[in-house]
Amino acid sequence: MSTLTAGDRPARPYHHGNLRPALLAEAVRVLAEGDAASLSLRELARRLGVSHAAPYRHFADKDALLAAIAQQGFELLVAQVEAAAAQHPDEPARELADTGWAYVRFALHQPQHFQVMFGRGAPPATAYPEVLAAGQQAFGRLLRVIEDGQRAGRIVSGEPRELAVAAWSQVHGLAILLLDRQLPVVDEAECEALVRRCVQIQQVGLGR
Amino acid sequence: MSTLTAGDRPARPYHHGNLRPALLAEAVRVLAEGDAASLSLRELARRLGVSHAAPYRHFADKDALLAAIAQQGFELLVAQVEAAAAQHPDEPARELADTGWAYVRFALHQPQHFQVMFGRGAPPATAYPEVLAAGQQAFGRLLRVIEDGQRAGRIVSGEPRELAVAAWSQVHGLAILLLDRQLPVVDEAECEALVRRCVQIQQVGLGR
DNA sequence: ACCTGAACACCGTTCAAGT
DNA sequence: ACCTGAACACCGTTCAAGT
């Protein structure tokens, strides 16, 4: 009874060794169906066939679990933005537009991560230095696009950090409003069109 | 014992009549110290000296209470944006900048309302038609600024709704990032400078 | 009409104790 | 080293019963 014969599959494969990654993966799965507030450590433990106290061996508390997911998210975001920016390195306008759309697409495709990274029940990033660092790396990537564009004479001169904040806040706002369903958009194609149009407006200028 | 003499103050003034507004006011007070997730109906009831079941006489559930606060928030926002926009009706660039700053200032000064209106544990606006309508009224106010500017020849031509979305997402992104402390800003003066600079960048155009 | 008290099914977190 | 089980102090929500 207490030993497994060859044909048996262990009923709870997470008992030893990989509970931490299993908790993270399961959390992302649960987040896909709800928000961070309705995610519970007890439910994760239940799903993984482990006692409700077991997660506390791997995470100090619920916020620490969320912070780990946020960090993961920033790494994914950096990778995707990087890939988008790399496609047209000598067309700054297009590079910026692709970068912006990659940002919003990430928010729409990985809402679980995005929601934990920003807004709602997200743990205050300031309390988790690794998360803060991951976020700044993503910002740094955008900064490079701006600086390259300035060198190529295709982006207005000015403090690059300010221009990057302007560009970031634009796409960040779009991502949030789209996720909150505050904009009348039905499918992803419409999303992309809207985002590219807004980025274009920002490039050309709203005033006259 | 069971009657109040002239000098007595009733220990629980909310027992009859005004529990609903009292709950809303107390909720805003509690939200000032935490987020929507950590607001509890039981705590509100406790603070108001009422049983934990009493709130359910006035709100179907916790989300309904939050939706009522969100609606209040949209009304406040519309009033403040309206006041800002009215100051320089014949200088569209300035009007747009003032409107944008009024939006972000609202988010910074009334974070309790802003958080419930957008993101985090906010009740899905789609479930509360009054909230949706209040939000659209705010958007409509911005739309008017854009259209007036176009008529005056100071804002680029194009679909006004698209231009309004671009402007909205810009300031909305700024508001969220500032509230999340993702931007290195220390006081309100710096916030205002940053917001006005971003709005200016959007007006002049990022590209060249 | 409005409020109470008990009840149910949940949480996060801690801690002694087990293997 | 990692996990369990009981325990504590909370939740949201419902419902019979009180005034």
pLDDT bracket for residue A127 (50, 70, 90): confident
In degrees rounded to 5, what are phi and psi of residue B207?
A: -90, 175
What's the token pair of residue B182?
A: 């993702």
Q: What is the pLDDT of residue A120?
A: 63
The spacing between the Cα labelled CA in A56 and the C1' in D10, in angstroms, equals: 19
Lookup: tokens for A48: 């993984």
Per-10-residue mean pLDDT for chain B, 208 residues long?
34 66 96 88 96 96 95 94 92 94 97 86 77 88 94 96 97 94 92 98 95
Mutation choice for A interface testing from B116, B148, B206 by most A CBs within 10 A: B206
pLDDT at A119: 65
Task: Spell out the long-range contacts of A58-61 with Cβ–Cβ below 8 A and sequence spacing 24 or more.
Answer: A58/A19, A58/A20, A58/A23, A59/A20, A59/A23
The nucleotide minimizing the C1' distance to residue A50's CA is D3
Q: Find the largest Cα–Cα distance for chain B.
A: 80
Q: What is the mean pLDDT of residues A113-136?
A: 82
Average per-residue pLDDT for chain A: 89
Predicted TM-score (pTM) of the model is: 0.90
Whether CB of A121 is under 7 Å from strand C: the answer is no
Ramachandran sector of residue A185 (left: φ over 0; alpha: ψ -120 to 50; beta: rest):
beta
Q: How confident is the model at residue A41 (pLDDT cuts 50, 70, 90)?
A: very high
CB proximity B29–strand C (7 Å threshold): no
Quick check: A180 and B155 CB within 8 A? no
Return positions of chain D under 7 A from a protein CB. 2-7, 10-16
Pick the residue with more confidence: A80 or A135?
A80
d(CA A78, CA A86) in angstroms, rounded, equals: 12
Please give the C-alpha separations between residue B35 and each of A40, A116, B116, in angstroms, as whole numbers: 17, 15, 9
CA distances from B172 to A192, B126, B133, B167 (A): 19, 19, 18, 9
* Phi, psi angles (nearest 5°) of residue A137: -65, -40
The SS3 call for residue B180 is coil
| Closest nucleotide C1' to the C-alpha of A55 | D3
CB–CB contact A203 B201 (8 Å): no
Cα–Cα dist B37/B33, whole Å: 12
Residue A10: its pLDDT value, please? 40
| Residue spans per domain, chain B | 9-57, 75-206
Q: Is the dihedral of CA A117, A118, A119, A124 positive or negative?
A: positive
Residue B33 pLDDT: 84
pLDDT tens column, A158-207:
999 999 999 999 999 999 999 988 899 999 999 999 999 999 999 999 99
In the CATH scheme, what architecture does the domain B75-206 have?
Orthogonal Bundle (1.10)
Query: Using CB atoms, which residue from B171, B176, B204 is nearest to A118?
Result: B176
**pLDDT on residue A1:** 33
CA of B40 to C1' of D9 (A): 14
Q: What is the mean pLDDT of residues A29-50?
A: 92
Which residues contact residue A148 at a Cβ distance below 8 angstroms, ignoring those fewer than 6 apart?
A: A89, A92, A95
Structure tokens at A147: 């600086």
- pLDDT of res. B70: 93
Q: Least CA distance to B115: which residue of chain A?
A: A120
CB A28 within 8 A of CB A110: no
> Who among A135, A177, A205 is closest to B182 (CB)?
A135
Contact A72, A80 (CB under 8 A): no
Counting one residue from chain A and one from chain B, the pairs whose CB atoms sit within 8 A come to 167
Query: Which nucleotide is the nearest neighbour of A20, by CA and C1'?
Result: D2
